Amino acid sequence: MKICRHFGTCGGCSFQDMPDDAYRSLKRSFVVDALAQNGLANTEVDSVIEVMPQTRRRAVFKATKRGGEVQIGFHAAQSHAIVDMHECLVITPSLFALVGSLREFLVTLLNDGEDIEVHATGSDTGLDIAMRWSRKLTPAISAGIARWAQKNKIARVTLNGNIVTEFGAVTVRFANARVALAPESFLQPTREGEAALRDKVLAGVKNAKAIADLFAGCGTFTFPLAQKAKVHAVELDKSALAAIAAAARATQGLKPITTEARDLFKVPLSGSELKPFDAVVMDPPRAGAKAQATALAASAVRRIVYVSCNAETFARDAGILTKGGYKLGPVTPVDQFLWSSHIELVAAFTR
């Protein structure tokens, strides 16, 4: 296995030098240990599903200009210093090519001493770039960014939440639906990992006919589920819900999809609101879904499929659900953040 030239300095990959078997065992142990700490030591934990290198389609790059030169990449381990990226075995080739292009462009865009943060996501129609910078947008800055984006075939660029240039719809396909993404929309880190999670979610809901898709994002699971069941997608981000609704109207062959804007951390679906659904899918952020898990534990929903990017908060919520009478099935770790301490997972609960 090739070791990245920045290993040991860059904070992105802590375990790249481990033998494969030891590395997979370590990643699995993150899930096993979290479950044990929450009274679920006897839970079956599957082998880790691991994506291939150079497949991560989203990244956040830090950049700074000092002494007339631009450094761009990730932070060094336990530091705010930037490791100037000249190799990466994690991100897609198109994202890595973007780094070189940005390095050249930012020499002209930034003043000496300035910093900028660049969020980059690979969509089906090209790269979607969101810049965060202390400066306000001016006609000159806008024109410079537009020229750079056109030259490098960037689909869209936003600066501090404002669209600077857009050369076409930024879209991604979920099942048979094509969803137009709002700026800075969340996508699973890799296409392969998304497919693994999707397959487990579809298997976990069995033959459910009415499903609540909680923390639905822009529809990663909504549309695959809607091929066989009515789906109610709940999400706080109204732009994501609008994208789901628009794609649902434009896609044939789906069961009905409804949407609801709601902060599930503060106002989870209650037992009475959960009554119409025979399955719930939820994919919360790293904080987990404690309030919603508590409401589900008191509900009569027969099946829950929980997708998580944090083993600790998943285990906490799993403890709530099992104490409420649910049985936890096998937990499948999915490694979309290669050689890091992060691990995602998916598991089904049944009554």
H or E element in which residue 74 lies: strand 69-75
Shortest CA distance to 88 belongs to which of 336, 339, 335? Answer: 339
Report the CATH fold assignment for 58-172: OB fold (Dihydrolipoamide Acetyltransferase, E2P) (2.40.50)
Q: What pLDDT does 2 receive? A: 87
Is 60:85 a contact under the CB 8 Å cutoff? no
Is 306:349 a contact under the CB 8 Å cutoff? yes
In this predicted model, what pLDDT tens digit does every residue of 4-24 receive, in sequence order?
Answer: 999 999 988 999 999 999 999
φ/ψ of residue 298, rounded to 5: -100, 5
- Distance, in Å, from the CA atom of 2 to the CA atom of 278, rounded to the nearest integer, reads 48
Domain boundaries, the chain: 20-52+187-350, 58-172
Shortest CA distance to 211 belongs to which of 178, 170, 268, 255? Answer: 255
Shortest CA distance to 132 belongs to which of 150, 107, 115? Answer: 115
* 20-52+187-350 and 58-172, same CATH topology: no
Q: What pLDDT does 80 receive? A: 87
**C-alpha distances in angstroms, 194 versus 114, 171, 217, 219, 264?**
36, 16, 13, 12, 23
The helix/strand/coil state of 257 is strand
Measured between its terminal Cα atoms, the distance across the chain in Å is: 44
- Distance, in Å, from the CA atom of 1 to the CA atom of 20, rounded to the nearest integer, reads 9
- Distance, in Å, from the CA atom of 279 to the CA atom of 231, rounded to the nearest integer, reads 10
Catalytic residue positions, numbered: 309
Task: pLDDT tens for the chain, 351 residues: list them.
Answer: 689 999 999 988 999 999 999 999 999 999 999 999 999 999 999 999 999 999 999 999 999 999 999 999 999 988 889 999 999 999 999 999 999 999 999 999 999 999 999 999 999 999 999 999 999 999 999 999 999 999 999 999 999 999 999 998 999 999 999 999 999 999 999 999 999 999 999 999 999 999 999 999 999 999 999 999 999 999 999 999 999 999 999 999 999 999 999 999 999 999 999 999 999 999 999 999 999 999 999 999 999 999 999 999 999 999 999 999 999 999 999 999 999 999 999 999 999
Q: What pLDDT does 77 receive? A: 85
Q: What pLDDT does 12 receive? A: 85
Q: What pLDDT does 78 receive? A: 83
Q: What is the CATH number of domain 20-52+187-350?
A: 3.40.50.150
Q: What pLDDT does 166 receive? A: 95
- Distance, in Å, from the CA atom of 79 to the CA atom of 56, rounded to the nearest integer, reads 23
Tell me the β-bridge partners of 340: none
